[in-house]
Amino acid sequence: MGMDCIKIKFNPHMTMSEDHIPEAQTCYHILILPQYSTIEKLREKLLLAIDNNRGFGKN
Q: Whole-angstrom Cα distance, residue 33 to residue 30?
A: 10
Could you tell me which residues come within 8 angstroms of residue 11 by beta carbon, excluding any fewer than 6 positions away?
30, 31, 32, 33
Candidates 37, 33, 43, 40; CA nearest to 9 is 33
Domain residue limits at 10: 2-57
Q: What is the pLDDT of residues 18-54, one digit of tens each?
A: 999 998 888 899 999 999 999 999 999 999 988 877 6
| Catalytically annotated residues | 27
- Assign residue 47 the CATH number of its domain: 3.30.2410.10
Q: Whole-angstrom Cα distance, residue 18 to residue 46?
A: 12
Q: What is the pLDDT of residues 2-17, one digit of tens each?
A: 778 889 899 999 899 9
Candidates 11, 47, 17; CA nearest to 30 is 11
Domain count within the chain: 1
